[in-house]
Amino acid sequence: MELWEGALLGLLQGITEFLPVSSSGHLAILQEVLRWEGPHVLFDVAVHMGTLMAILVVFRQAIKGILTGFLSEEGRKIALIIVGSVPIGISGLFLESRAEEIFSSGGVAGAMLSITGMMLWATRYVKKGDRGPEETGIWRAVTVGVFQAAAILPGISRSGATISAALFLGLEREWAGEFSFLLAIPAIGGATLFKARDFFTLPQSALGAFGAGIIVSALSGYLALKFLLGLIRRGKFYLFAPYCWAVSAAYFLLLG
């Protein structure tokens, strides 16, 4: 992998991780177009580290409140995040042996992008919710977590699935976005730790591309996340649906 390829894929990851259009789906399709036969899953984990940095910066005040307010509303968020993270932990364990096959499949990504588009479009017809952290409840947190687990498939947007689920369940728009990205912290952090030992097996020639991918994904991810949160507050989340359908159709027409 060349340095420019790492930077390009990092830019793609940073933008598509937070915008509800599936970063893993775009990476799978672009890697197929570039015919890159490298460690797809490991690079995917690497650029997710960059977007994790963006989440930590954007939500630094909320995270600080969570860490210092165990007995308050912020403390309740910890319980919801833990419960909501269980489904993806279970799915990750069961699918780990097939991760390389799944994540490198452009066909799976193309098909799942159409489903992501359907979820996003459906939010257009959802009544504005009023449930905050106190009214979210365990079963709602688990339901959002199940949608996050489904996003292990390339083409199912993690942010698209979790925010759509939260809106369907009546969560406040701002809280729906915050909960989705707070859930991403243990999910991305866990995947990074799980694959950490594999980074030591990377050839020296790949380090530059991986480093460029991480840095570019962090910077572009920060900008994309701020942009998306504004759209969620305005109830314009569904606007990304046509894009998902267009990419899905283009894949099968040109590459399928």
Q: pLDDT digit string (tens) for 175-199?
A: 999 999 999 998 888 877 776 777 7
Q: What angle separates helix 241-254 from helix 23-34, to the nearest 10 degrees?
A: 30
Q: How far is CA 168 from CA 53, 165, 171, in A?
A: 28, 5, 8
Report how far residue 192's alpha carbon sits from residue 175's, in angstroms, rounded to the nearest whole number: 26
Q: What is the pLDDT along the chain (256 residues), one digit of tens a residue?
A: 788 888 988 898 889 888 999 877 887 787 777 776 555 667 878 888 899 999 999 999 888 887 776 555 566 788 888 888 888 877 766 665 555 555 556 788 889 999 999 999 999 999 999 999 989 989 999 999 999 988 888 889 999 999 999 999 999 999 999 999 999 998 888 877 776 777 767 777 778 888 999 999 999 999 999 999 999 999 999 999 999 999 999 988 887 6
Q: Which residues pair with 171 in a beta bridge?
A: 131
